[in-house]
Chains A and B, each alone.
Chain A
């Protein structure tokens, strides 16, 4: 009995989501309390397991027995260090986001029961991905996070942009999921098993070509979920959802699921399964995403969109690390990034609420004086993101850059360049939003955020600072056998320090200390292209969406005009008309002809009777 306690990770949030929605549909306070309690419960359970509590191996349930008997789909839990430490990130940030939501959603007129039920169902789905012991179960969680993300992005569904963004996220993810499903089937066909634990032995004897195809197909899932180029378009739009949701789902956990899945595969298949071609594809996709997103972020005005593109860029880093066979470094960065990016988003959420739901950084300004604690927390997150030495992000970025310089120097220089751009746009954001004087009425009236919002911010700020150091990281970084900062001062350190200083100086030179009221770089064709997201979204709209719609319209037009109108309606009328014309000579109007025919008829009848 006791060994099945880990199933609570899944059952508790799912049950709470159902109760929230079915029973406490009309009592948002009870629903919120229940959701927070369930997050707290799973968090406590996770801490208990991490601190060495043992309950034995949880039961494995057979879900779908198959005829052959050798193969069946089952539901089981992995309880290794990778999964449990990832669970700590999920439940820990989840809990803080639940609490933050109380403050953020106060006074919101939408149904909060729905909101908290959505959060709980997300916790269930994410836990399913993290704890799954086979790819089929991962896929269930994979689709469920897509669904909960759809629910939460579209929480304010009466806003057309939010409803569109929810749809966009869901459909874009479906594209990636199709590849993922193909990958799962290929895995089943090639390895004969979907269970992670059995993959290591099954890899032997598989041809490299087949391995490459399988890994790349599975990577398609990560491209969709982790919003890598070319399926990255949904993530910036997903910022239409409530900010705590952006922090939890679209920054810290769900979008990292792709990286987690790839690392999980890398560990279970062994790095040998990741052939050179597959690695090159993965690393290139990651690098393209990192560079492109970072460049676009430099010209975004919406505080959440800057952070969204920064998330894209950092995810690109992680994927690049996976492609460089440095899964541990990727997980290290995922882990630190989860804390500081959640902090940045929640900080942005606090700023947005305090400025009366203003998201344009050019309409903020001078916030450092009005809400010092929030801004200080935000700055801590920023320092971690731009990798100021000593902050958590610094160590994890070093780890990736170290891996890159060993495996592939080209990717090292790309990473260093992205680091410089990251510093530039984050400094721009902070300078414009927090310094100088207020540029709009909302910013003038900004006051410090409420305690329910400050508490998660402070806790996350602490994590953003210390989570990279050995005394925390050794116990919490979700990569087994990774001795956290294998950091030493060397070539990569000088390069990333150079990138940091370069970005910082460039941003200060361009934007001063918040004295400007508009972007001095904003009036040329490059800036316009960046503001239009390099026209990728427009291209998809025109070519894919428009093309498909046109294609569909043509098919419907064909069925409508050719088949229904042409063949059925007009065709039948034409047929009847022709037959009428053919037969109309019978009705000649000549009395004699009629009587002739009548006589002939009688004659025929007589002959017939006589015969």
Chain B
């Protein structure tokens, strides 16, 4: 039994929306960060799904899979920098609340 492409895309869309909502709504910067990762994963899922769906005779289109591998690698790098920043910020301000990051405004 094969799962149709639409299911993957719907799942990816739901995941992306949850991530986007988390980024927009949550104030805890750590959660915002995790939501960002979720959006990247959603993109990966749709890429891989497309790669499979576009393939002929069981051979997928590898371009999309290569792209998704790149995204994973960049996400890893991003996580390391992002987490480091968050840790540094927490050390400096004792908070990870994003609405507290408005000192430049004044």
By a beta-carbon cutoff of 8 Å, the part of chain A in contact with chain B is 587-592, 595-596, 599
A to B CB contacts below 8 Å, 10 in the list:
A589-B102, A589-B103, A590-B98, A591-B32, A591-B98, A591-B99, A591-B101, A592-B99, A595-B24, A599-B24
B102 to A, closest residue via Cβ: A589
Other 4 A-B pairs with CB < 8 A, given A590-B99, A590-B102, A591-B98 = A589-B102, A592-B25, A592-B27, A596-B24
Q: Is the pair B24, A589 in contact by a Cβ cutoff of 8 Å? A: no
Category for how many chain B residues contact A: 10 to 19
Q: Establish whether residues A588 and B99, one from each chain, have CB atoms under 8 Å apart when the complex forms.
A: no
Other-chain contact of B105, A587, A596, A599 (Cβ < 8 Å): A587
When distances are taken between beta carbons in the complex, the residues of chain B under 8 Å from A596 are 24
- Among B17-55, those with CB < 8 Å from A are 20, 23-25, 27, 29, 32
Point out the residues of chain A lying under 8 angstroms from B105, CB to CB. 587-589
CB distance from B98 to the nearest CB of A (A): 4
Q: Assuming A599-B20, A599-B24, is B98 touching A592 (CB within 8 A)?
A: yes
Give Cα A282–Cα B87 distance, bound, in whole angstroms.
103
Residues of B within 8 A of A588 (CB): 102, 105
The secondary structure that dominates the A interface is: helix
A592 and B104 contact, CB distance less than 8 A: no
A532 to B104, CA, bound (A): 74
Closest to A584 in B: B105
The proximity string for B residues 1-28 relative to A, scoring 1 for CB distances below 8 Å and 0 otherwise, is 0000000000000000000100111010
Smallest Cβ-Cβ distance to B104: which chain A residue: A589
Give Cα A588 to B29, complex, Å: 18
Q: How far is the CB of B104 from chain A (nearest CB, A)?
A: 7
Chain B nearest CB: distance from A604 CB in Å? 15
Inter-chain contact B23/A595, CB cutoff 8 Å = yes
Q: Determine how close the nearest CB of chain B comes to the CB of A185; give it in whole angstroms.
A: 73
Give CA–CA (A599, B21) in the complex, Å: 11
Asked if A592 contacts B24 (CB within 8 A), the reply is yes
B31 to chain A, nearest CB (A): 12
C-alpha spacing A599/B27, complex, angstroms:
17
Q: How far is the CA of A591 from the CA of B106 in the complex (A)?
A: 15
With a cutoff of 8 Å between Cβ atoms, the chain A residues found around residue B24 in the complex are: 592, 595-596, 599
Chain B residues with CB below 8 A from A587, complex form: 105
Residue on A nearest B106 in the bound complex, by CB: A589
**Which of A588, A591, A599 gathers most chain B CB within 10 Å?**
A591
A63 to B77, CA, bound (A): 93
Which residues of chain A come closer than 8 Å to B99, judged between CB atoms? 590-592
Binary per-residue interface labels of chain B (66-106) against chain A in the complex, 1 for a CB within 8 Å, 0 otherwise: 00000000000000000000000000000000110111111
Contacts of A599 in B (CB 8 A): 20, 24
Distance (whole angstroms) from the CB of A440 to the closest CB of chain B: 84
> For A591, what are the chain B residues with a Cβ–Cβ distance below 8 Å?
29, 32, 98-99, 101
